[in-house]
Structure 1
Amino acid sequence: MRYTDEAGPSSDSVLADLDAAALSYATALSDGPDGQRALLRDRFVAECLPFAGRMARRYRGRGEPLDDLEQVARMGLVKAIDRYDPERGSFTAYAVMTISGELKRHFRDTTWAVHVPRRVQDLTLEVNRVRMDLTASLSRPPAIAEIADRLGATVEDVTEAVVSSAGHSPISLNAPTMGTDGAAELGELLGDVDRDLEAVDDSITVAELLLRLPARERTMLMMRFHGNHTQADIAAELGISQMHVSRTLTRTLAWLREAMISDTIPRWHGAGVPSESLAMRVSTCRTADGITVRIIGEVDRDSADRLRAGLLHAVRAAAGLGRLTIDLTNMPLIDAAGLAVLTEAAELAEPPLQLVGVQRYVAKVLAVAGLDSHVADRP
């Protein structure tokens, strides 16, 4: 191409030999007036645009639009033209290096979805190139060690490059899964049900209920279930008997279970009451229908004998006065020994005795012992 001071280029607008065109451009630029420099540059850039397009098409098929690649290649072309010095060699070679560098920099800096160090990015490109070459020569996919041997790199570096390559174009979590016709997304297939999340509501409820318990009961629960102490350890720490610890934990857990499933929080029997007042007591009174026995406190093997004496006396007294009624309103706990006493009294009473004021968790124990048929509403 021959550059002149005229408004447009000569009729021979496209030259195959860019080196000759570059020399002609450099000569015209040095000999021409300063006012024509911008026009000469624009003409030479327009002449070289097809060359930049061919360079851009070498990198197509790598996930980037061809229009973007051509834009980057043209920017590299302008840089090559502005920095071109005829005394330093071929323009074509210099332009190839400059445009290729711009294209590689574009892939390195803008096309990775996840930030990866430049060293790993460059190694990833080399690993992909060597993998294709080895696959063609070996007729099989190459091993990591074979790629590392060809590149002169370590297996660890090649493995890091292979893993990092997944960060170039990750699959969207909103991508439709194969074979579902878009009915499901990839993100719906990842992860698992968080069982701990389902227990959040229960954990919050239990935490609020624990604040309603006396300090001693809270301490026992913490030592047993958080500190993993045995009942004997708790008893030694608090200076009470192991049986008392067992009864207290049973009563506390029963109250927590009832509170968890109830719409209203049940009354805590024993809250603010000294432990001595929880000792079992039996009182008997005459009513219009017969004899009523009131049991106050917990019934276990230590207090079962006292309960037996009181109930047998009441059974004999009620024989000529009417029905025997046992009021369990203030009995929060009963064990096997106490159930045996109630069963014995039920067998001896005539007419059959009735149980009133039964708490919910005590009623479950009575049902297991077969005494639920004697439970009646409180008169």
Structure 2
Amino acid sequence: MLDNNQLLRFTTAGSVDDGKSTLIGRLLYDSKSIFEDQLEAIENTSRKKGHEGVDLALFTDGLRDEREQGITIDVAYRYFTTPKRKFIIADTPGHIQYTRNMVTGASTANAAIILVDARHGVIEQTKRHAFIASLLQIPHVIVCVNKMDLVDYSEEAYNNVINQFEKFSSKFLVKDIRFIPISALDGDNVVNRSKNMDWYLGAPLLHTLETLHISSDINKIDARFPVQTVLRPQNDTHRDYRGYAGRVSSGVFRPGDEVTILPSGFTSKIKSIDTFEGEIEEAYAPMSVSITLTDDIDISRGDMIVRSNNKAQVTQDIEVMLCWLHNNPAKPRAKYTIKHTSNEQKAMIKEVVYKYDINTLERKLDDKDLGMNDISKVKIRTTKPLMTDSYRENRITGSLILVDDATNETVAAGMIV
């Protein structure tokens, strides 16, 4: 039995005009997850645009500017519920210049739906999005071969796409890759099984999403507690209280645990774990709590409390898989602000080790320039130590962003190797 409160986050990706927004509209429309006033507004807009029926893409293209251009230019989030599960959808743009948005939408996803136009097969942007899904270690990838109605529901066309994708994705980290032939416009194999493709024996998309096994991406072994602030209440009742507040990134903390404060290396024991409702006996991710210690230690924002027998790596030199998000290229040896958990430091890109050729997944060792949407392995040097784990082991302590000091814009997102 599935927990009907279980939440599945999934992202949609693929090349422009592959039908992502239409697919989500079909999911919402056929699963009856649209409020009457929303449906009425979409019907009115569809009539103004001259459409005979409901323009399903408008369910996610919520901004007027986006509607006027006829494209999705940002990550559009939608929420819906079926009797079996709750869903959060991140609809990401297909244009190559918005690959960075796909990174944003996929960063917290349990599954990725990658659309492929049955007429065109696997193209560069399909490969780019599939590769990012693999880098972000999304556990489930569902390849929807869309617009099957435009190839006469041909099983051969469907198998051609499968062969192309499997050849490309053989090096991926993703273990669960599924294929579904659909027509988002007509609803074939989206919510209901298609009568036009009786050769397909698998489940439609919605049933697949409802029955996917969701494994937690939270590391339950390595106890990590980045300190956000120090609590010193100015009242007579709690005058001697000194609590270290933050959110547990991973693992479990209990009173009496021996802990080490990083980067200083001082050790102590947990005296109590407090919440707004009162003291608790254990704290685990992603709970927000205040931890008090038996010893008076100088701790500030950006420090990390870990178990003494299981420490994070403390380093100023880190290797990162970096996706460059900004229009302007990276400046050689320029300084950026690196944000990692609650820690902010100045940092410099010391070296671009290699860049990926998105079409072949080969490493380009001679190309050291970082431009928008480039995915590369880099070496970063920080002014003060960071407490890190690899992204593969811990999504929270293994991820970071770079911010341009001059503009305060996020220029890159990275996964620690």
Structure 1 length-normalised TM: 0.21
Structure 2 length-normalised TM: 0.19
Q: Which has the higher contact order (CA 8 A, sep 6+)?
A: 2
Please identify which structure carries the higher helix content: 1
Please identify which structure carries the higher strand content: 2
Q: Which has the larger radius of gyration?
A: 1
